[in-house]
């Protein structure tokens, strides 16, 4: 499939371009040009913006479906739904749960991917837990918390056919640093989450190979000027990425803008979305927990936040408004930076020659008009 995209604006990897044409060949991006050969096939999106497909590296579910349902159909429905939101890549994300439930979820993800996902494509599994601690448990079931176990992880990795690409742990657990070194060597992104660790403990975890902080400010010790805690460690260490949920509920808008100024291109926009996303207010579940959504905010019966109902494109829009930075810069925090964090930026995350041609067509109201995966338009409004 060979064609040229015509649009008003293009968010390329290193710059914005007005007008012109973008070459697509065999599912990959080619060069951006001002003129095209006579007789070339043109897909005309005049008046619209072409941006790279978004990449949600932390999502539990959406539109009534949950990864922990452990069903191939749930994975497929999440995959299809994400296209309408401009997301072309994602990491299906599990929760701390019974071993049998985790096994079933991993198998369902593997089978869905093997059969071919109909929409957004999985770039691997994110195991959120079960190696956490009690104090900042959030919507994780603490009855299953335990110390990290390499053999247990390798069992899950084998079950996943090697597709686990990210795992979150609390670095104060016993045996963590050896665990980090081992799984990092195997190409897994170790992330810090749901933890009461000290600043020093977090630094030691990053020294061992951890390179990401999950949902910054949430599920962790806060920042104090004498005891910087997990938040302080995340903000000051340039080696590590930090995820941010920009829904205005999990983190105050001005604090989100501050995090952007500090972390810059090491900030990853995520949703942490659960099954209530795109659904009306009411009763839902996140793993084993009952969740009530009111005014779009999902909470446990205890009142704790339970994931989010955020659309990643809205997170981009929110942070762009809160920070007054360019759309070009903020958009890449939801596309390119996630790819960089997983070592996939040579293939994904931005519009650059040779990369997979995942792109989104946006109107002036920031609404998704079309979404393409590997050059094929799979969603059209």
Q: With both helix axes pointing from N to C terminus, report the angle between 229-236 and 253-263 in degrees, rounded to the nearest 10.
A: 40
Q: Which residues pair with 273 in a beta bridge?
A: 59, 308
User: How far are the Cα atoms of 45, 50, 51, 338 from residue 5, in angstroms, in the given order?
Assistant: 7, 9, 12, 25
Structure tokens at 60: 């539990």
Q: Indicate whether 289 pLDDT > 90.
A: no
DSSP structure string for 39-66: T--EEEEEEEEEEEPEEEEEE-EETTEE
242, 212 Cβ separation under 8 angstroms = yes
pLDDT tens digits, residue range 129-181? 999 999 898 888 888 899 999 999 999 999 999 999 999 999 999 999 999 99
pLDDT tens digits, residue range 331-355? 999 999 999 999 999 999 999 999 9
Give the domain ranges of the chain: 2-51+352-380, 54-341
Which residues in 115-146 are b (16+ Cβ under 10 Å) and which e? eebebbbbbbbbbbbbbbbeebbbbbbeebbe
User: How far are the Cα atoms of 32, 45, 314, 332, 368 from residue 50, in angstroms, in the given order?
Assistant: 12, 8, 17, 13, 10
- Of 272, 281, 314, 358, the active-site residue reads 272
**What pLDDT score does 306 carry?**
87
Four-way CATH pick for 54-341: 2.40.50.140, 3.10.105.10, 3.10.129.10, 3.20.20.140: 3.20.20.140
Helix (H, G, I), strand (E, B) or coil at 12: coil
**What pLDDT score does 138 carry?**
84
Four-way CATH pick for 2-51+352-380: 2.30.40.10, 3.30.2350.10, 2.60.120.10, 2.30.110.10: 2.30.40.10
> Are 2-51+352-380 and 54-341 the same fold in CATH?
no
**What pLDDT score does 1 carry?**
85
272 as an active site residue: the answer is yes
Q: With both helix axes pointing from N to C terminus, report the angle between 72-83 and 99-115 in degrees, rounded to the nearest 10.
A: 60
Mean per-residue pLDDT over the chain, rounded: 96
Report d(CA 131, CA 66) in Å as an integer. Answer: 21
Angle at the Cα of 232 from the Cα atoms of 226 and 234, rounded to 5 degrees: 165
Instruction: Provide the terminal-to-terminal Cα distance of the chain, rounded to the nearest Å.
Output: 22
**What pLDDT score does 263 carry?**
98
Q: Indicate whether 304 pLDDT > 90.
A: no
Beta strands 16-18 and 2-11, pairing class: antiparallel
Q: Indicate whether 211 pLDDT > 90.
A: yes
């Amino acid at each position: 499939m060979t064609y040229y995209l015509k649009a008003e604006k293009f968010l390329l990897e290193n710059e914005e371009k007005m007008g012109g044409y973008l070459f697509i060949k065999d599912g990959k991006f080619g060069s951006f040009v001002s003129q095209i050969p006579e007789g070339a096939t043109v897909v005309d999106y005049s008046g619209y913006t072409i941006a790279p497909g978004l990449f949600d590296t932390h999502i539990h579910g959406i539109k009534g479906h949950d990864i922990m349902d452990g069903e191939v159909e749930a994975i497929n429905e999440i995959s299809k739904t994400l296209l309408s939101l401009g997301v072309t890549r994602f990491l299906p994300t599990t929760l701390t749960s019974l071993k049998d439930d985790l096994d079933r979820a991993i198998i369902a993800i593997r089978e869905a991917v093997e059969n071919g996902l109909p929409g957004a494509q999985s770039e691997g599994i994110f195991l959120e837990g079960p190696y956490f601690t009690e104090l900042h448990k959030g919507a994780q079931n603490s009855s299953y918390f335990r110390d990290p176990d390499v053999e247990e992880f390798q069992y899950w990795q084998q079950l996943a056919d090697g597709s686990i690409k990210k795992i979150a742990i609390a670095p104060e657990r016993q045996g963590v640093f050896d665990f980090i070194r081992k799984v990092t060597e195997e190409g897994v992104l170790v992330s810090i989450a749901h933890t009461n660790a000290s600043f020093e403990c977090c630094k030691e975890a990053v020294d061992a190979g951890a390179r990401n902080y999950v949902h910054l400010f949430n599920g962790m010790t806060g920042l104090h000027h004498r005891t910087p805690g997990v938040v302080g460690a995340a903000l000051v260490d340039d080696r590590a990425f930090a995820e941010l949920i920009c829904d205005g509920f999990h983190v105050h808008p001005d604090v989100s803008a501050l995090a952007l100024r500090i972390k810059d291109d090491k900030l990853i926009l995520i949703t942490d979305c659960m099954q209530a996303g795109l659904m009306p207010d009411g009763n839902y579940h996140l793993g084993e927990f009952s969740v009530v959504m009111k005014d779009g905010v999902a909470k446990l019966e205890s009142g704790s936040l339970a994931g989010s109902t955020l659309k990643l494109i809205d997170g981009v829009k929110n942070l762009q408004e809160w920070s007054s930075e360019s759309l070009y810069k903020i958009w890449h925090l939801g596309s390119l930076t996630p790819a960089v964090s997983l070592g996939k930026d040579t293939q994904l995350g931005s519009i650059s020659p040779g990369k997979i041609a995942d792109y989104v067509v946006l109107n002036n109201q920031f609404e998704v008009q079309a979404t393409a995966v590997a050059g094929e338009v799979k969603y059209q409004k």
